[in-house]
Amino acid sequence: MSVIVLAEHAQGIFKKKTFEALQYAAKIAKDLGTTVTAIAAGNVADSEMQGLGAYGAQKVLHIADARLNDFNARAYTKAIISAVQKESAKVIVGLHDVPGKSVIPQVAAGLKAGLVSGAIAYPDTSNGFVVRTSVFSGKAFANVSITSDIKVITVMPNTYPVVKGEGSATVEQFQVAFDDRDFSIQVKAVNKVTGTVPLSEAELVVSGGRGMKGPENWYVLEDLAKELGASLACSRPVADAHWRPHYEHVGQTGGTIRPNLYIAVGISGAIQHLAGVNGSKTIVVINKDPEAPFFKAADYGVIGDAMEVVPRLTAAVKKFKENN
Amino acid sequence: MKILVCISQVPDTTTKIAFSDNNTHFNTQGVTFIINPYDEWYALVRALELKESGVATAVHLVTVGKADTEPVIRKALALGGEEAIRIDADSSDTYMVAAQIAEYARTEKYDLVLCGKESIDYNNGAVGAMLAQLLDVNYIGFATKIDVAGTEVTVNREIEGGEETNVCSLPLVISCQKGVAEARIPNMRGIMAARTKPLKVVPAAAISALTTVVSYELPPAKTGVKMIDAENMDELVSLLHSNAKVI
Ligand SMILES: Cc1cc2nc3c(=O)[nH]c(=O)nc-3n(C[C@H](O)[C@H](O)[C@H](O)COP(=O)(O)OP(=O)(O)OC[C@H]3O[C@@H](n4cnc5c(N)ncnc54)[C@H](O)[C@@H]3O)c2cc1C
Ligand SMILES: Nc1ncnc2c1ncn2[C@@H]1O[C@H](COP(=O)(O)O)[C@@H](O)[C@H]1O
């Protein structure tokens, strides 16, 4: 019996959200009186894997198959299912992100295990196994009981702050019997923006809407984001007008994010936009219209013209950093 | 090539969410239901385009739900497709939904199953992936472009911080999002035609749900926005540091 976690990594380096998933799993393991086993696929250094011990993993099952260096939903699913069987695991934890959503539901279906997607709190194991998740695009929460023997959860990234502890995990090589069909999807081209934190992982986000007037004005948001170390996002009309790339579009039809800080500039705050960002811990709204609906969902509001207020905010951040 | 499009019904995006029976049920009173936008705008429209260009031979629609979902599936039929199937089962658990669709799809041997990236009510983004596993075929999630030539499918899909192009052969399950197609508006002819198209009701297979919602909660109301003078950004920065503790 153990709690199994898919430890996502990029080119052999584990992501911050992987630590969060491990920490989440470690809490469950503690409640259930068991331990956490992480699964790492492809080329990863032993020291990297041992380091997962500091976030709650006792053991890492390493599938060193080079074919797994690239993400592969079918093969990863098979690997996790084999690990679950080997360990007689009762709980499986993954992330509610693009790779996680392609693999973890497949694991759940393959094991005939109940799934809660996008958990935003630790499970309550005092009476059954109840997991809290956000529903109706952030407009409500549901407490969902998993009634099957094996329980599967995807955790919403950035739900809990990651706390590094002590310890080192043991690494064990793990063989999985793959067949050719597990590698039948060919990756022809990869088009990745490098250098910035993916939006789903960003703790600080600066976002612009139609009130920015045009792509030529985005430099004020870029300057602020740079000063803060934040990622950039935008409203849908902005992406539709090709002012910004579509992967920056957040909201009901775009990405869902839960940063610690979301700064919305020139965005009116339509319900479909809020759906993607209302899980943010702190929301700052900068808008020239005092009646903009976004102010109702904000923690801090500034009424003013984006082109004047944002550079002033950037300067204030700069000054603050110099003095602290 | 036969395509199956998974259609779910969801409350209209502007719905005010409320619960009944001591917060154990979603209160549907006065709620307008729509076709899940990802299913309608992207999965269904792309399936119809593939039919119109002669690549697909048939487009069928499937929904898992009780009789009250029929108006929504008829609305989907007004956009196109030869027939709709309603599997008469409760749709509250993703495994249950996927397993019901898999049972049906297996007997009908569809080459391509298209679904939306997520349903906007429960936001699971899980049914498509589960379906692929249950049908033992490949799954490509979060597609932004789908092309089919013979039995070879080329799909652009979202990855973290970018996009990648995948090539794979049928059969396949794909979840669709923005980019896959452009939303269409049903015309009068489609609406009339939909009235006489077959809507098959299939009894639920003996599958039980693996999760149940114990209770719902509304998020605590924001305590109110603190307005800050546009001239005083130092104050904002200092509040973000000492009160909100985010910088
Ligand atoms: C089914 C559906 C799904 C949708 N999905 C999404 C989604 O995922 N994401 C999304 O964002 N939208 C989505 N929308 C669209 C959404 O309803 C809004 O139309 C959209 O969010 C508005 O974008 P905006 O706030 O940038 O533009 P606007 O609504 O035009 O607002 C611009 C704001 O900028 C302010 N402004 C103007 N000039 C200045 C200035 N100089 N300085 C400061 N402020 C200024 C204005 O006061 C105004 O509040 C969806 C709509 C539908 C129907
Ligand atoms: N009750 C249902 N009937 C048919 N298809 C569904 C149903 N629920 C979800 N789906 C499909 O699965 C996709 C993902 O849904 P979900 O996993 O609930 O977020 C949706 O976009 C639909 O295409």
Q: Is pLDDT at A194 greater than 70 in this prediction? A: no
Inter-chain contact A301–B126, Cβ cutoff 8 Å?
Answer: no
Q: What is the number of other CB atoms lying within 10 angstroms of the CB of residue A10?
A: 13
CA of B69 relative to ligand 2 center, distance in Å:
13
Average pLDDT over residues A202-231: 96
Distance CA A68, CA A80 (A): 13
- Of the ligands numbered here, which is closest to the C-alpha atom of A213? 1
Q: How confident is the model at residue A324 (pLDDT cuts 50, 70, 90)?
A: confident
Q: Is pLDDT at A196 greater than 70 in this prediction? A: no
- Note the pLDDT of residue A200: 79
Q: What is the number of other CB atoms lying within 10 angstroms of the CB of residue B22?
A: 8
Closest CA to A201 of A229, A226, A224, A220: A229
Closest CA to A211 of A77, A306, A133, A294: A306
Predicted confidence (pLDDT) per residue in B61-120, tens digit: 999 999 999 999 999 999 999 999 999 999 989 999 999 999 999 999 999 999 999 999
Average pLDDT over residues A20-24: 98
CA of A232 relative to ligand 2 center, distance in Å:
30
Q: Cα–Cα distances in Å, from B135 out to A52, A148, A186, B100, B182?
A: 35, 21, 20, 11, 29
* Strand segments (E) across B170-210: 172-176, 199-203
- Note the pLDDT of residue A195: 61
Atom 1 of ligand 2, nearest CA residue: B64
Which of A74, A136, A143 faces B215 most closely, judged by CB atoms? A143
Considering only A28-32, A156-160, B109-113, B128-132, which range has the smallest mean pLDDT? A156-160
Measured in angstroms, the CA of B126 and the nearest CA of chain A are apart by: 5
Q: Report ipTM (2 d.p.).
A: 0.93
Q: Does B220 touch chain A (CB under 8 A)?
A: no
Q: What domains are there in chain A, each with its CATH number?
A: 3-183 (3.40.50.620), 204-323 (3.40.50.1220)
Query: B residues 148-177 near A, CB within 8 Å?
Result: 154, 158-169, 177
Distance CA A25, CA A4 (A): 8
Which of A135, A148, A298 faces B210 most closely, judged by CB atoms? A148
Predicted confidence (pLDDT) per residue in B2-40, tens digit: 999 999 999 998 888 999 999 999 999 999 999 999 999
Backbone angles phi, psi at B56, to 5 degrees: -100, 145
Distance CA A17, CA A19 (A): 5
Distance CA B31, CA B218 (A): 17
Q: What domains are there in chain B, each with its CATH number?
A: 2-219 (3.40.50.620)
Return the ligand 1 atom nearest residue A289 CA. Answer: 47
Distance CA B58, CA A190 (A): 32
Q: How confident is the model at residue A64 (pLDDT cuts 50, 70, 90)?
A: very high
Dihedral sign for Cα atoms in the order B135, B139, B143, B147: negative
Q: Does A183 touch chain B (CB under 8 A)?
A: no
What rounded mean pLDDT belongs to chain A? 95
- Note the pLDDT of residue B13: 82
Inter-chain contact A320–B233, Cβ cutoff 8 Å?
Answer: no
Inter-chain contact B141–A98, Cβ cutoff 8 Å?
Answer: yes
B26 lines ligand 2 (CB under 6 A): no
Distance CA B98, CA B16 (A): 28
